[in-house]
Structure 1
Amino acid sequence: MLVLGVCSLKGGVGKTSVTLGLASAALERGLRTLVVDMDPQGDSTMSLGVRPEGADVASVLDEPGEESVRAATTPSTWADEGLDVLPGSERSARHDRLEEGDLDRLRYALSWVRDYDLVLVDCPPSLGSLTRLGLTACDRAVVVTEPGLFAVMAVGRAMRTIDELRRGPAATLQPLGIVVNRVRARSLEQAYRLDELRTLYGPLILSPDVPERAALQQAQGAAQPVHAWPGAAAAELSRVFEALLDRALRAPRR
């Protein structure tokens, strides 16, 4: 089972969109997938067709264990089977100021999960304990950015956070790489920032980039996987996420 964290320390760069694109590709591939929504905003949860009622990620973090995970796990409406969700909710915000000794709560909870090929952890866009909890549970981490000045600066903070966790509670965590999202082919400013990213991070920049296409937001707004959305733009995005998923699956598994 590969546990892959998706993170960004700047909001609005499409971190959740990348999480959902990877979930769509995994569903299309026939991989049994669990999405863990660590973001108190719960955008992944909503886009996966789940309305949190009762047990959720906060419940799991309150009492990590097999029973709490089973009680909170909910099927996505994207498919009859093969894609489940640990729903996010505002209640998880109370776990955003934990001591470092408590950062293994999600990792311990996921140690009881054995029915999946892939776990995607959608982290909040912040440096708080929820992000650290999420990443501590992961084998690999993807940092999502867009080719803009402030987003590029946030990549450095995210990479330092991953390195700090590797030296502390998450010794097995490794960066998978950086996904550049919302790329516009004709933007000179974006071209400059892309060159900057490649200069700074070299092979950590994952290929292909994710182009800016309205089809992605349309599919997610309708609570549908991008692979099921009609049109050439959705087909293009589907191929991009399939390629990124292939790269993730080549990473060592637990």
Structure 2
Amino acid sequence: MQVVSISSLKGGVGKTSVTLGLASAALAAGIPTLVVDLDPHADATTGLGVTAADKPGIGEMLKNSRRAQLGDNVVPSGWVATDRRAKNSDPKHRPVLDVAMGSAFSGIYDRPDLGRRDLKRLSTLLSRVSGYGLVLIDCPPSLNGLTRMAWTASNRVLLVAEPGLFSVAGTERTMRALELFRREFAPNLAPAAIIANRVRSGSNEHTFRLAEMKQMFGDLLLSPTIAEQANWQQIQGAAHSVHHWPGESAKQAAGTFDALLKNIVETGSVRNRVIRRAG
């Protein structure tokens, strides 16, 4: 069972889009998955087609982490019903893609001075869940308390970067910060992996920056890279899984996320940590 944080130092690099793409690939692969929307803006919750539910969000559960039952308060993604209809010929197909809903309340923990006790709040919640093969944590675009809380609960961190000067420099700084954090708070955390997002194949700048990233990060830069997709905003605006969206470009994007997910699952299998979902 893997717990994977998707992080970035700066906003606007498509961190949540990558989270949604990996969730889509996990659903298509039949991997029971939980998405924890730790970003107070709750964009992943919206993108996963979650309708308003009379249940607490992740912020409220973090506040009561010792007593809150995460497994009782997750909600299914709206993608699940679509997936069932697409595969109605298989009565044994019972997809699982649950969401711990994003909450503005979680912002109270997004500060730089969280102590060890607060950093373990998400770990405490996840320790009481079972039945998932994968947990994806969508982090805020910062290195404050919520991101560090996610790192504490994870056994792998994925850093999302665009092939541009500022994003690459920010990723290098995040790698250094993550290594310091790992030494002090999370010694079992695997080395971070990096996903290059919104890559334009015809751009000389992107070609140069990708070569620079390969030189800087080596095998930590995952393959394949994610190409820029013109209709990605339309797919997210419809709260749709990329695997269920028509058209050749969506099909190619789905294949990219399938390959990335396979890479992440296979390279992380040695460090898997069992986490059980309640019920």
Question: 1:9 — aligned with what?
Answer: 9
Give the whole-Å Cα distance in 1 for the aligned partners of 2:198 and 2:169: 16
Alignment of 1:56-75 (within 5 A): 56-65=57-66, 67-75=68-76
The alignment partner of 2:10 has SS state of coil
Identity rate, percent: 47
The alignment partner of 2:69 has SS state of helix
Give the whole-Å Cα distance in 2 for the aligned partners of 1:175 and 1:87: 28
Question: 2:221 — aligned with what?
Answer: 205
Give the whole-Å Cα distance in 2 for the aligned partners of 1:173 and 1:59: 26
> Does 2:92 align with 1:91?
no
Question: 2:128 — aligned with what?
Answer: 112
The alignment partner of 1:167 has SS state of helix
In the TM superposition, residue 66 of structure 1 has moved relative to its aligned partner by: 6.3
The alignment partner of 1:175 has SS state of coil
Q: Which amino acid aligns with 2:56?
A: A
Give the whole-Å Cα distance in 2 for the aligned partners of 1:59 and 1:171: 28
Worse-matched range after superposition: 46-55 or 180-189:
46-55
Give the whole-Å Cα distance in 2 for the aligned partners of 1:200 and 1:235: 31
RMSD (Å) for aligned C-alpha atoms:
1.4
Unaligned runs of 5+ in 2: 82-94, 274-279
Maintained 8 Å contact 1:76/1:84: yes
Among 139, 149, 154, the residue aligned to 1:138: 154
Give the whole-Å Cα distance in 2 for the aligned partners of 1:168 and 1:51: 39
Maintained 8 Å contact 1:211/1:237: yes
> Does 2:171 align with 1:170?
no
Alignment of 1:1-254 (within 5 A): 1-53=1-53, 54-65=55-66, 67-80=68-81, 81-97=95-111, 98-101=113-116, 102-250=118-266, 251-252=268-269, 253-254=272-273
Give the whole-Å Cα distance in 1 for the aligned partners of 2:49 and 2:67: 24
Worse-matched range after superposition: 107-116 or 224-233:
107-116
Give the number of aligned pairs. 254
Give the whole-Å Cα distance in 1 for the aligned partners of 2:157 and 2:63: 24
Maintained 8 Å contact 1:52/1:89: no
Maintained 8 Å contact 2:68/2:125: no
Cα displacement string for residues 60-90 of structure 1 (whole angstroms, at most 9, x for unaligned residues): 2101146431343111111144100001121
Maintained 8 Å contact 1:55/1:71: no
> If the length of structure 1 is used for normalisation, what is the TM-score?
0.96
- Asked which structure has the greater CA Rg, the reply is 2
Maintained 8 Å contact 1:7/1:123: yes
In the TM superposition, residue 190 of structure 1 has moved relative to its aligned partner by: 1.0
The alignment partner of 2:235 has SS state of helix
In the TM superposition, residue 181 of structure 1 has moved relative to its aligned partner by: 0.2
Q: Which amino acid aligns with 2:104?
A: E
Worse-matched range after superposition: 103-112 or 165-174:
165-174
Q: Which amino acid aligns with 2:226?
A: V
The alignment partner of 1:223 has SS state of coil
> If the length of structure 2 is used for normalisation, what is the TM-score?
0.87
Cα displacement string for residues 99-121 of structure 1 (whole angstroms, at most 9, x for unaligned residues): 23120110111011111110000
Unaligned runs of 5+ in 1: none
